Structure 1
Amino acid sequence: MNRIMIITGGTLGDWALAEIQADDILVGSDRGALFLIQHGYRPHISMGDFDSVTADELARIRASSHAFIDCDPIFKDLTDTEMAFNWALDQKPSQILIVGALGTRFDHSLANVHLLRKGMALGIPCAIMDANNLIMVIDQPTSVRRGPYTHLSLLPLSLTVTGITLHGFQYPLHEATLEIGMSLGISNVLVESEGLIALSSGLLLVIQSKD
């Protein structure tokens, strides 16, 4: 199945529109659905509690989406982004990209980063992107490309990550261990067009940044 791109209600801009590919399945989560529609896109599905839009905007979202799912904003257990992410996982896509998942609410931003673990566990490549960062979680050797990103940071998402070995980076690591609270993996630099991150155990958060 094609890539699913989830547009949710955090910080958005023209950079997000530039990431849309012609064959993407577009999922609008809460105000992210309105963002798509305002820029001429018709979401494959829009879902959420829509507590961040007006009644008129909600009517526009409902009329302009191929499919629409709403829920009570009080009596629900999942965030809008997790609802959309779970739906995307059920479709078994080739990849999931989430934009608008980072913003002024740090609790929501952190919860959205944690969602990436669910996709990794199912073998579905997942990432979060904003104007300056590309974020993913890995538990096995992974190649990364430099592209527009100047820096790369590694943070443990599990208590300990062992056997971290880097190839193609300015600051190499060999069989290193990272534990929660350590900043050893912050602000590395790719010196090759492609780098390899290897690890033996644990969950590693990989953050590529432009600034």
Structure 2
Amino acid sequence: MTHRIIIFTGGKLGEWALEHIAEGDLLIGADSGAKFLVQQGFRPDIAIGDFDSVSDADLILIREQSLQTIACDPIDKDFTDTEMAFRLALDLKPQEIVMLGALGTRFDHSLANVHLLSLAEEIGIHASIIDQHNMIFLASAVTTIHKRNFPNVSLLPLTMEVAGITLRGFQYPLEEAKLTIGMSLGISNVLLEETGVLSFSEGKLLIIQSRD
């Protein structure tokens, strides 16, 4: 079993993203994310997408430098490049998936990528989206939250309702609280120590750790 897969996709990327690569990670480059990896001297294990965001010369280089390239028609496809990469990662059954470059100027793509986290949660794979200012993941029934470099912690329901939310170790504790779509009660909490514990009983709950 592959321990961790990192997907580089076509949103905002920079040198910060390379710091997340560790020995043994399987690297997937989605469209221009593959170009980014190659330009930074990495060989993607898999490059995937319609590659409409790269030039013909870039695509030749991607094919040369990637261990495997999966190209599809830019019109006749049902999924975004990121979703194709994510579903491929799920099929490989890793313990963890990290998406880098999944947030950017296109809010529709960013939101769709956040929704992809639910696909992993349903089959017991931990998945997250990370950029310079945010780390986003779905909470499990009991979740230990580590401060790392993200002091702010926000909770947002991904289902119409999330029930039984309890927070320990936060500036603003909750006890058996309920969040529904449209509520801002869970926004901008702060950990008092390096870790805190969250639990809930029903629904799907997004954790967004952030820094300014």
- What range is the shorter-chain TM-score in? over 0.9
Q: CA RMSD in A?
A: 0.6
Structure 1: state its 5+ residue gaps.
Answer: none
Q: Which residue of 1 aligns with 2:53?
A: 52
The correspondence of residues 83-98 of structure 1 with structure 2, limited to 5 A, is 83-98=84-99
Residue 65 of structure 1 aligns to which amino acid in structure 2?
Answer: S
Q: Which residue of 2 aligns with 1:126?
A: 127
The correspondence of residues 1-211 of structure 1 with structure 2, limited to 5 A, is 1-211=2-212
> 1:15-50: CA deviations, max 9, x gaps?
101111111100000000000000010000000000
Paired residues of 1:139 and 1:201 also in contact (CA < 8 A): no
Structure 1 runs of 4+ aligned residues shifted over 4 Å read none
Q: Distance in 2 between matches of 1:50 and 1:140?
A: 39
Paired residues of 1:3 and 1:94 also in contact (CA < 8 A): yes
Residue 122 of structure 2 aligns to which amino acid in structure 1?
Answer: A
SS of the residue corresponding to residue 169 of structure 1 reads coil
TM-score where L is the length of structure 1: 0.99
SS of the residue corresponding to residue 118 of structure 1 reads helix
Structure 2: state its 5+ residue gaps.
Answer: none
Paired residues of 1:129 and 1:135 also in contact (CA < 8 A): yes
TM-score where L is the length of structure 2: 0.98
Q: Distance in 1 between matches of 2:38 and 2:208?
A: 30
Fraction of identical pairs, as percent = 56
SS of the residue corresponding to residue 189 of structure 2 reads coil
Q: Distance in 1 between matches of 2:85 and 2:137?
A: 18
